[in-house]
Amino acid sequence: NPAIVLTSISNFGQTGPYREMKSSDIVAYAMGGPMNITGHADYEPLKLAGNIVAMHAGSVGAYATMVALWDAEDTGEGQNVDISIYETQAGFRDRRVIYLTAHAYTGESYSRPDPGYRVASGTRPCADGFVNILGFGPRFRNISNMIGHPELADDPKFADPAGRSDPDVAMAFDEYYIPWLMEHTKLEAVNEAQDNQLLAGPINTVEDIFKDPHFEFRGYWDTIDHPETGELTYPGRPFKMSGAELPPRSPAPLLGQHTVEVLENLGHTTQDISLLRESGAI
């Protein structure tokens, strides 16, 4: 059936240097940028509750699949739709545009409640920002080995999985964990964590995302030429379609740029528009 549409939703898409990397909801939220401006200003960045990333990726997948189905009905040709969960977060800004802009100028973050503090889980500071490494449960021995303290995995204080949810126990572990992190950059810490079979991701800023080689490899960024400001770089569409050429995006219109076009679509004649212009109405 040449009209079949095949949609794949994966952590980082079917191409690019991160293609084989494992991820999770919190890792994608961190790497994609939203986490950088979520949380109390005096504490580490936080993640919104629930599987917000998975839900958003699903909505993007549904949207892109519908577009591909409409195209298949029109042309008889199906295509592969490649959804990168990472890209859905980098392009998912909505209300956060304001907070990201404010953070860029003030360095302050929008405040949200503190969700709790657990051993070897969640966001911690490192040499050049923040990183999120998940080393709880059966992976606690992995993270203990990674930071050079394998003995902690057998320490009675940390051996009880339930006890690792105690903030005091978490802070006791951080006495070993934080010094290791402060000797590593975000990417160094993430690479070490992945080598030790730990889920991990950097808390990326807007600048980090802009420089990320994965986005560049997948051609994520769009360059739009504005008649007054020149070329500007914008987040692209968080999906790739194998059989369709998506139309180029247009810049924000100038004041009155489409007035004549709109009036003509409303049924006004050239004479009507001239009279409106002469009267100063447009």
Q: Over the chain, what is the mean pLDDT?
A: 84
The span from the CA of 13 to the CA of 205, in Å, is 21
pLDDT, position 49: 67
Instruction: For the chain, give every domain's residue range.
Output: 6-217, 252-282
Tell me which amino acid residue 53 is. Answer: V
pLDDT at 271 over 50: yes
Which pLDDT score, from 0 to 100, does residue 115 have?
47
Per-residue model confidence as pLDDT tens digits over 195-205: 999 989 898 88
- Which residue, among 164, 4, 13, has the nearest Cα to 77 in the 3D structure? 4
Q: Which of 14-28, 58-72, 143-157, 266-280 has the lowest mean pLDDT?
A: 14-28
Residue 112 pLDDT greater than 50, yes or no: no
Token readout for 45 is 């960045």
- Per-residue pLDDT of 157-167, as tens digits, reads 887 777 777 77
Residue 256 has pLDDT above 60, yes or no: yes
Q: CA-to-CA distance for 41 and 32, rounded, in angstroms?
A: 19
Segment 78-101, tens digit of pLDDT: 999 999 888 888 766 555 555 556
Question: Residue type for 258, please?
Answer: H
pLDDT digits (tens, 9 = 90+) for 216-253: 898 888 899 999 989 988 888 888 888 767 778 888 89
Q: What would the mean pLDDT of 120-145 be, rounded to a whole number?
A: 90
Pairing relationship of beta strands 80-84 and 239-241 according to DSSP bridges = antiparallel
Number of Cβ within a 10 Å radius of residue 132: 27
What pairs with residue 222 in β-bridges? 234
| 162-193: pLDDT as tens digits | 777 777 888 899 999 999 999 999 999 999 99
Tell me yes or no: is domain 6-217 CATH 1.10.287.3510.
Answer: no
Residue 114: per-residue pLDDT: 44
DSSP-H helix ranges across 76-224: 85-90, 96-106, 140-146, 156-159, 167-181, 186-195, 206-211, 213-217
- DSSP H or E run through 239: strand 239-241
CA separation for the pair 156, 242 (Å, rounded): 55
Closest CA to 196 of 153, 125, 133: 133
Structure-model confidence comparison of residues 37 and 135, the more confident one: 135
Is 237 within 8 Å of 246 (Cβ atoms)?
Answer: yes
Instruction: Read off the tokens for 170.
Output: 């978490």
Radius of gyration of the chain (CA): 24
